[in-house]
Copies of this chain bind each other. A is one copy, B any other.
């Protein structure tokens, strides 16, 4: 599923709240946590991780993965934690505003 622009960063930060994880793991985590509804493309994810690190919201370190491969582990910084709160709150406001206009979702068609 294509993501709406702007949600990826938030989803990544939220996923890292549970602890450090490498890129591949983040993507798998989001995918399974959403019941396969959200499929993160690596071509979107890695630029996003770079972005988030440049902004100081996550920090990275090379380590060995649980499958004995080298992998870059990312973890939330204190600033990232605050950013996550801001983004979550903003997202909730946005969804609420859009829902006010859209009304109840249409019936699922056979």
Q: Which residues of A contact B (CB under 8 A)?
A: 1-2, 4-7, 10-11, 14-15, 30, 33-35, 37-38, 85, 88-89, 91-103, 105-106, 108-109
Contact = CB atoms under 8 A, between A and B. Distances in A.
Nearest to A89: B106
A98 B101 CA distance: 19
Residue with the greatest number of chain B CB neighbours at <10 A, chosen from A4, A92, A102: A102
A93 B6 CA distance: 17
Given A4-B7, A34-B100, 19 more contacts: A1-B93, A1-B94, A2-B6, A4-B4, A4-B5, A4-B6, A11-B98, A11-B102, A14-B103, A15-B101, A33-B100, A88-B102, A88-B105, A89-B105, A91-B102, A91-B105, A92-B105, A92-B106, A95-B95
